[in-house]
Structure 1
Amino acid sequence: MSGEDQRQAGHGIRQDVKGVVRGTAPAPLSILDLAPVGTGYTPAQALAATTELARGAERWGYHRFWVAEHHGMPGVASSTPAVLIAHLGAHTSTLRLGSGGVMLPNHAPLAIAEQFGLLEALHPGRIDLGLGRAPGTDPATARALRRGEVEDPDDFPRRLSELTHFLDGDFPAGHPYARLRAVPGGAERPPLWLLGSSGFSAQLAGRLGLPFAFAHHFSGTNTVPALELYRESFRPSEVLAEPYALIGVSAVAVPEGGAPAARRLAASAGLGMLRLRLGKPGPIPSPEEAAAYPYSPAEAEFLEGWLDNLVLGDPGEVADGLEELRKRTGADELMVTSHVHGHEVRLRSYELIAQAYGLLG
């Protein structure tokens, strides 16, 4: 990406990464929600629960609420972030809403610019546009989404540059799209975030001076190296004078029973992830189903490794675990996800975490 493209990627962004945090929390705490669909529930019920969670997050003092693009996964209802964000915006009034993220290779940059320009017009000053470069699905579904377009792993910076030019309406003279405009548009547009679980997006976010969100919840061993690379690569921009890093963290808090009880709840999502890795995606199994599943030695090892990356326990244990992780990684913000079976259990986990972490004082 050229120096001009680097400048344009940050041009005109009104960034909200240092927002006010209520209570006594040591850092902003946010939510990543996938509208999980558990065994015995429908997608409609899952989306209603996500709506209820967003309203709760606003009351409890969470800073932002992101949803993510996934396809071909019966256990996840958030296939189209822009649609879900528009709905959540109509049911909240102050909570920041965004994508964690939109998978840019799946879409034409102009389409994303128009979708998020419309969201910003509907809910001004409350929208984040987080971008990822993975497909968010299996290869066959990715091909169906892209209608035969060949994926170029090095094409993401070009797509990102094109998207920012559409958002800002400032393609250079002579560019094939110089006369095109993303509608609606305006003086303000959503801040851009780059998302990733490797060094590629970390380095690119640093070079462009953009905030970076790392997926610690499924790539914990790479967190510190990626954040170090982001900070080492960082160049001040019109967006940020210094690096700002957010990490996604899987966390489950329970009112009683401590880590064993929380681990039992989390194991259901672990079995769901195992089945996804085996090419057998489905709804999130119940804790009872997960406990009765006949794990092979390799499967049991996978589950244990997956659970070891979670922050689990009673509210105090989870708050302490989050703070230890924040200090160890130097993250500026934490984004928790409680991907478990049962909507009431999930909402209660988020409420307990907010209280214990000091969001409400």
Structure 2
Amino acid sequence: MDHIRGTATGTAPVPLSVLDLVTVGSGHTATEALRTSVDIAKLAERRGYHRHWVAEHHSMPGVASSSPAVILAHLAAHTERIRLGSGGVMLPNHAPLVIAEQFGTLEALAPGRIDLGLGRAPGTDGATAAALRRTDRLNEGADDFPQQLAELTRFLDDDFPDGHPYARIHAVPGPVQGSAARPPVWLLGSSGFSARLAGMLGLPFAFAHHFSARNTIPALDLYRDSFRPSQLLDAPYALIGVSALAGDDAREARRQVMTGALSMLRLRSGRPGLIPTPEEAEAYAFTSMEREFVDSWLANVIHGTPDEVRTGLDDLQKRTGADELMITANGHGGRTRLRSYELIADAYGLPVL
């Protein structure tokens, strides 16, 4: 279970990890964003962060992570130790066999370092989901997710029973080629559905606190109450995604998180775009309703000086009992995000490896 349970280093109460949304800021390109992702993975490995995950999103100009498996292969080629994974791959968008082969390939490229985090949302709007899934799969939803998950697990383990239509199909790379290991499966969620399912199956669970904070504690309680020991885990293991950004001073940190807040406002109002600059966010004339949304959003974004961010992260961990904190740093440019992860590592005294 060492490949699931991390070890806290420095003075951090639990392991710290990175959720990289591969954001594209105004005036920048996807190429620059992907290069920044490599830089963040290298920094995270050097400073003792436990994992670096990327998340599947589609048709969002401000995000360049539509193909997690491709990005993870690139990150694996530029790192040596840090765990890499999906946070997550949206299972309903893909045939289970495709995911099994993609992540079997990643496991073969970086043995013992790959996590397969799965979500049941489309990671996009309805029209884009239709373009991804085509018409014959559009009706697949929450009720189908457990069956899709079971099929994917069978492909990963290469253990369909005799007589099953897929019994003679092998996901490669995989066990049929002598592979003794496969990526551990995580379930991701922002409500109770995946929390309960992860608990019942004895899987590790990652909760999206960064955009569903009001549901965090109820979902984690449900996960722990539903948990049944499995071959993978003998006790619950819950990770939460946290939006946090540290700056050299509190004012600059506030300027940067406002760019993410404005970006989210535009996304929620059907106007997605590149991550705006701090100057654009400062000049934006918020309506009273928009200001209310932004204030509510920022209430769950931990930001400020490194010490302030550390205090906020520690308080959140105590309130939730999370076994791991996965930090997503949302600002306009790559240097801002890199600096934030460095400052947080310094605040916790994480070693330079």
1:341 & 1:179 partners in 2: Cα distance?
Answer: 49
Map of 1:281-360 to 2, 5 A cutoff? 281-360=272-351
| Equivalent in the alignment of 1:273 | 264
Task: Specify which of 223, 230, 233 is matched with residue 237 of structure 1.
Answer: 230
Q: Does 1:138 align with 2:125?
A: yes
Structure 1 residue 151: deviation in Å? Answer: 2.4
What is the identity, as a one-letter code, of the residue corresponding to 1:223? T
SS of equivalent to 1:31: strand
Deviations 1:230-276 (A, max 9, x none): 000000111111100000000010112x2x43222101011111111
Map of 1:1-361 to 2, 5 A cutoff? 16-148=3-135, 149-153=137-141, 154-185=143-174, 186-256=179-249, 258=250, 260-360=251-351
2:42 & 2:222 partners in 1: Cα distance?
Answer: 36
SS of equivalent to 2:44: helix
2:104 & 2:122 partners in 1: Cα distance?
Answer: 22
Structure 2 unaligned residues grouped into runs of 5+: none
SS of equivalent to 1:131: strand
1:304 & 1:261 partners in 2: Cα distance?
Answer: 17
2:237 & 2:333 partners in 1: Cα distance?
Answer: 34
Structure 1 residue 24: deviation in Å? Answer: 3.0
What is the identity, as a one-letter code, of the residue corresponding to 2:111? P
Structure 1 residue 288: deviation in Å? Answer: 0.7
Does the aligned pair in 1 maintain the 2:6–2:324 contact within 8 Å?
Answer: no
TM-score (norm 1): 0.94
Residues 143/34 of structure 1: CA separation in 2 closer, same or farther (3 Å cut) = same
Deviations 1:16-74 (A, max 9, x none): 12233432322100000011000000100110111111111111110000000000001
Does the aligned pair in 2 maintain the 1:202–1:230 contact within 8 Å?
Answer: yes
What is the identity, as a one-letter code, of the residue corresponding to 2:233? L
What is the identity, as a one-letter code, of the residue corresponding to 1:334? L
1:280 & 1:127 partners in 2: Cα distance?
Answer: 34
What is the identity, as a one-letter code, of the residue corresponding to 1:150? L
Does the aligned pair in 2 maintain the 1:263–1:307 contact within 8 Å?
Answer: no
- % identity of equivalent residues: 66
Structure 1 unaligned residues grouped into runs of 5+: 1-13
Does the aligned pair in 2 maintain the 1:15–1:239 contact within 8 Å?
Answer: no
1:151 & 1:165 partners in 2: Cα distance?
Answer: 23
Structure 1 residue 139: deviation in Å? Answer: 0.4
1:352 & 1:237 partners in 2: Cα distance?
Answer: 38
2:52 & 2:223 partners in 1: Cα distance?
Answer: 23
Moved more, 150-159 or 134-143: 150-159
Does the aligned pair in 1 maintain the 2:116–2:183 contact within 8 Å?
Answer: yes
Does the aligned pair in 2 maintain the 1:245–1:333 contact within 8 Å?
Answer: yes
SS of equivalent to 2:108: helix
What is the identity, as a one-letter code, of the residue corresponding to 1:267? M
1:244 & 1:108 partners in 2: Cα distance?
Answer: 27
1:316 & 1:277 partners in 2: Cα distance?
Answer: 31
Does the aligned pair in 2 maintain the 1:30–1:63 contact within 8 Å?
Answer: yes
Structure 1 residue 15: deviation in Å? Answer: 5.8
1:261 & 1:304 partners in 2: Cα distance?
Answer: 17
What is the identity, as a one-letter code, of the residue corresponding to 1:288? E
SS of equivalent to 1:25: coil
TM-score (norm 2): 0.96
1:293 & 1:102 partners in 2: Cα distance?
Answer: 34
SS of equivalent to 1:235: coil
Does the aligned pair in 2 maintain the 1:223–1:329 contact within 8 Å?
Answer: yes
1:358 & 1:126 partners in 2: Cα distance?
Answer: 24
1:50 & 1:247 partners in 2: Cα distance?
Answer: 20
1:209 & 1:346 partners in 2: Cα distance?
Answer: 34
